[in-house]
Structure 1
Amino acid sequence: MKRKLTLVEGTMYGDGQTAVNAVVAVKIKGSIDAGNLQHALSKVQARHPLLNVNVREDSTGIPYFITNENIGQIPVRTANRYTNEDWEKQTSVECLTPFDTKNGPLMRVVYLKSAEASNLIMVCHHCICDGRAILNLLDETLRLLAEPHIDIGTYHSFSSLYDFIPDQVKKSRKNLLMVSLVKKLSGLMLLAAASKKEIKRVKPYLLHWRINEEESAAILSKCRKEGVSLHAVLSVIFLKAYDTIGTIKSHKKLYCAVDMRKFVPEIKNDMLFAFPAMIELGLKGGCNIEFWDQVRLLKEELILKISKTNVNRIFLLDEGLSTFLPKLAKYAKVDKGAHDFTFSNMGNSSIQENYGLVEVQDVYSPVTIFPFGNPSTFFASAFRGQLDLMMTSDAHFIKYEEAVMIREKVMELLKEMN
């Protein structure tokens, strides 16, 4: 394989030295044999083409995925597990530890072991993997630990986003003109931003909390009664919580990551793919509108924007703007944007509770600590009927104490809605 990174992949790749990693952790009962774990990971690596690539840049700085036939095996770091908080400390470390993109595989595993319970932490470079994909990698590994001889198959990765665009769309004069115009405007925008200084990480952090089964059930029941999604409820509550912290400038807007697989049938749910559609949502109707009406308005806005997603146009622009990739990756680190945060909601976890003799007791939401101008991100998922929430950011943007205040306000608003 020799494939140019897409704009999203390239933005995540950045300079190739700064960590932009997707991380997921689970708590399991008992321990795992190290040899069995490495065997499982070797079959996972053999299945996914992007686990056998390095990244190389051409003379203009454009990064490419290049297959390495002699790439090493997925590394496993083993350590003792002492407390229930060890996974969180190690997750933060792994979020901030760069990959050797030029030589090693873009995935690694941390195994925290003890006699009673253990943690398995999976880490991938975000340029090859999104939240859905890393959960799938975890599921495949656990299935192979339970049944080492099963065949999980393989697949061929696409060579370009152009593979998915119909010929008549590529050749349309209207589309060619649109791409040309956007390129000119993007060039001017990037030129104007060239003098801005990159916002460096000061003190990145991860804040995790969980809602127990009883309270989670009450929240979900209320959502069903009101005819709205949990995603819409959490979006409004996170935005409202932001707006109550006087020391934070609130735009009352968020970006929501929508899985592009639903628009591209060739990309299956169990394939590595890092190309979300980012949809902007905001609070509507002013301060006096009733909470559930705000939730319904946001839900309607999300449905409308998803329905209007033009995959061909997005892919055409991606290909057309690829020459700007190094500048766009830099732009992501200098521009704070006009939004409060990004929200990634994985919904009910795809991880099972039992894999043979391995019992999964907890699944923590897939998480990333971004190095971008606005690094603030919320993550949500559910496992065994419990909602699991995380927030990541950096002290240069939002102080940790302010993040704690946001968490407390979120919990207060969730209780009030019942």
Structure 2
Amino acid sequence: MQNECAKNSAGIPGCVRQVTNLERAFLFTPGCNVSIVARIAGNVSEHELLRAMDTVRRIHPLVGAKIVFDEQHNAWFSNDNVPALPLRVTKMTSNTQWFEEIQYEQRVPFELEKGPLIRFILLHSPEISDLIVMCNHSICDGMALANLVRDILIYYADPERRITVLNPPDIMKLIPKKSGFSLSTILTQLFVYNANRKWKKSPHYFFQADYAAITRAYWEKMKCGAVLIELDTQESQIFLDKCRKEGVTVGSAVTAACIAAHNDILGPFTENFKLVSVPFDLRRYATTSVGDVFCLCVGAPRFSYTYDVKKTFWENAAVLHQEVHKRVEKLDSTGLEIPGFEPSFIDAFASFGPIFKAIPEAYSQTDNLSRFAQDRKNVAFSFTHNNKNMTPGTIPSNLGKLNLQTTYGNLQLDRMVFLPAISEIVPLILGGIGAGGRIVFSLTFAEPIQNNSSSREQDMIRIRNRALEYIGFPEKVSERAIE
């Protein structure tokens, strides 16, 4: 890893590795933060927690990373002169306070070129606390955050435990390359070449000030929301047994239930929204063993799926289950490949182009944004328009039942909640996790603060309630988003 950096990084101090095109697509995008909340029983010591955080930072290089841009505007992860991991401690006053903290943290841009790209909040009480971790999606996925919390608790309880550094790989190297040439490969290469050629005629380069401007402007108009499907330990076991009997995973069953509920409440998906994009953990499936690395390490096959009202719910869940696992087993990388585009072009069409119409006022706040906004014939804007037509309707990110112990010294892990990236465009985004014997799924979304039409939160509550009926828990229907 270090030799590769020395060869290619033009002498960037503290180099970890280059930011990949996939990671670049998430780097500047408002709402593309991922969060996890761990409810911990016992009196958490701030001092011991900080010590454990410092230890896991040494194990996982990207936890303590920043972004460095070289002369060609390639981005690199670097550990050089990055401040200590931030931990904000406040008194825990309610069981739903954690989500208010996440809503606040979404509005605060990360200091990309200063680092780190992760923040920690401890809502503390002597009996029970919530540890919240929010991270820029470019350096992690949901499983990375879950493993990070596990490692923090392990080293909290056992400070003398031996550490091993886990360097983050370029995940595209974990997926077998497609052999031979095909017409589609040749056409893709020509398409990328032509797009890059047009971009180079009028390129734009974005930095921290541009990212901060669009992030603040976006969250002045939008609010993030979440609705939970939460089963207690007994309910979780009943549901798990039922899924096993039907030959499906918990994730497939809940996803099918939410799609069916969306059909009932808002109508069936049409056109590109029929697409389901399913992130899966490459740590488990890659042909090369990488351990529990902390980085963005997911596959993301996408396929068309329509809920068939002529079949039973469990028959529909089985069809979805088969489609997902057929693609996971062959390491389908369709949703990961951002082939050969200029990195600065990715910034433009993935992050700065898509939200221009939503927050045009932000594009006068820096010179870079002003020049980009005035260049409306730029190829990035046409790409932005075309990408909207490829947006999937459902993105279920299920981490599954985690192989975690429940006791760490004088602390016990009660449950976890996982919140994936948030979008105002994708109709259904699910984040599932099983920890402490509990199954919890979140439905995350963004909606305008000044919304004169129907509330998306109310729609999501109705979808959640209908989904609970499909999976066999009608008694859990509630008018509250989070209990």
User: Smaller-chain TM-score range?
Assistant: 0.7 to 0.9
383-392 or 262-271, which moves further after superposition?
Answer: 262-271
Distance 1:351 1:278 in 2: 25
Give the direction of change, closer, same or farther, for the CA distance of 1:280–1:44 in structure 2 (3 Å limit). same
Relative distance call for 1:170 and 1:74 in structure 2 (3 A) is same
Match of 2:226 among 184, 206, 211: 206
Aligned-residue offset at 1:47: 1.4
Match of 1:193 in 2: none
Pair 416,84 (structure 1): closer, same or farther in 2 beyond 3 Å: closer
Q: Are 2:279 and 2:300, in contact at CA under 8 Å, matched by a contact in 1?
A: yes
Other structure's SS at 2:90 match: strand
CA contact (8 A) 2:280 2:300 kept: yes
Percent sequence identity is 21
Could you tell me how far apart the structure 1 residues matched to 2:274 and 2:339 are?
A: 32
CA distance in 2 between partners of 1:220 and 1:164 (Å): 31
Deviation of residue 104 (structure 1)? 2.1
Which residue number in structure 2 is paired with residue 194 of structure 1?
none
Helix, strand or coil at the partner of 2:278:
strand
Query: What amino acid does structure 1 have at the position aligned with 2:464?
Result: R
When residues 189 and 310 of structure 1 are mapped into structure 2, their CA distance, relative to the original with a 3 A threshold, is: farther
* Pairs aligned (count): 404
Q: Which residue is 2:18 aligned to?
A: 4
Task: Supply the distance in 2 between the matched residues of 1:307 and 1:327 (Cα, whole angstroms).
Answer: 33
* SS state at 2:318 partner: helix
Secondary structure of the 2:67 match is strand
Deviations 1:148-167 (A, max 9, x none): 11122113344x5675578x
CA distance in 2, matches of 1:71, 1:144: 22
Cα distance between partner residues in 2 of 1:254 and 1:217: 27
Per the alignment, do residues 417 and 296 of structure 1 end up closer, same or farther by CA in structure 2, a change over 3 Å counting?
Answer: farther
CA shift digits 1:333-377 (9 cap, x unpaired): 55264532311111113432100111122222x213425643741
Identify unmatched segments of 5+ residues in structure 1.
Answer: 191-197
* 2:445 maps to which of 376, 382, 393: 393
Given the superposition, is the C-alpha separation of residues 128 and 213 from structure 1 closer, same or farther in structure 2, using an over 3 Å criterion? Answer: same
Partner of 1:127: helix, strand, or coil?
A: helix
Q: Hey, what does 2:189 align to over in structure 1? A: 180
Cα distance in structure 1, aligned partners of 2:424 and 2:465: 25
Match of 1:104 in 2: 115
- Partner SS for 2:151: helix
Q: How big is the shift at 1:3? A: 3.5
Q: What is the CA–CA distance in structure 2 between the aligned matches of 1:349 and 1:336, rounded to whole Å? A: 35
Which SS does the other structure have where 1:351 is aligned? coil
Matched position secondary structure for 1:245: helix
- Aligned-partner SS, 1:388: strand
How do residues 123-272 of structure 1 correspond to structure 2 at under 5 angstroms?
123-158=134-169, 160=170, 177=186, 179-183=188-192, 200=218, 202-246=222-266, 251-266=273-288, 268-272=290-294
Residue 290 (structure 1) shift: 2.6
Name the CA shift for 1:152/1:144 in 2 (closer, same or farther; >3 Å). same
Q: Contact between 1:75 and 1:109, CA under 8 Å: does it hold in 2?
A: yes
> What is the alpha-carbon distance in structure 2 between the residues aligned to residue 380 and residue 165 of structure 1?
25
Residue in 1 that maps onto 2:346: 325
What CA distance in whole angstroms lies between the structure 2 residues aligned with 1:150 and 1:342?
Answer: 38
Deviations 1:294-325 (A, max 9, x none): 222222222222244355x888x545235442
Counterpart CA distance in 2 for 1:147 and 1:2 is 27
Aligned-residue offset at 1:393: 0.5
**Who is 1:383 aligned against?**
435
- Given candidates 308, 313, 331, the residue that maps to 1:309 is 331
Distance 1:377 1:184, change over 3 A: same
Distance 1:297 1:5, change over 3 A: same
1:45 to 57, 66, 71: 57
Over aligned residue pairs, what C-alpha RMSD do you find?
A: 3.5
In structure 2, C-alpha distance between the alignment counterparts of 1:222 and 1:310, rounded to whole Å: 28
Distance 2:178 2:463 in 1: 46
Q: 1:31 aligns with which of 43, 53, 69?
A: 43
Name the stretch that deviates more: 401-410 or 20-29. 20-29
Change (3 A) 1:272 1:2: closer
How much does 1:120 deviate? 1.3
Q: In the TM superposition, what whole-angstrom CA distance separates every residue of 1:154-192 from its partner, at most 9, and x where no partner exists?
A: 13344x5675578xx6996669736513525867999xx
After superposition, the Cα gap between the structure-2 partners of 1:171 and 1:386, relative to the gap in structure 1 and judged at 3 Å, is closer
Match among 398, 402, 412 for residue 345 of structure 1 = 398
1:413 alignment partner, one of 434, 458, 470? 470
Alpha-carbon distance between aligned partners in 2 of 1:322 and 1:259, rounded to the nearest angstrom: 27
Which AA in structure 1 matches 2:415? D
Residues 1:376 and 1:189: Cα distance change in structure 2 (over 3 Å): farther
Cα distance in 1 for partners of 2:308, 2:179 equals: 44
Per-residue deviation, 1:242: 0.8
Cα separation, 2, equivalents of 1:399 and 1:189: 39
Name the amino acid aligned to 1:271. V
Deviations 1:199-238 (A, max 9, x none): 9552321222412233322222222222222222112111
Report the Cα offset of residue 74 of structure 1.
0.5
The residue type paired with residue 397 of structure 2 is: S
Distance 2:179 2:111 in 1: 39
Q: 1:180 to 1:49 in 2, by over 3 A?
A: same
Offset at residue 247 of structure 1 (A) = 7.1
The question of whether the paired residues in 1 share the 8 Å contact of 2:67 and 2:113 is answered with yes
Amino acid at match of 2:20: T
* Cα distance in 2, alignment partners of residues 318 and 144 from structure 1: 37
Distance 1:391 1:189 in 2: 39
Partners of 2:188 and 2:20 lie apart in 1 by 16
DSSP-derived class of the 2:138 partner: coil
Distance in structure 1 (CA, Å) of the matches to 2:104 and 2:442: 16
Aligned to 1:295: 317
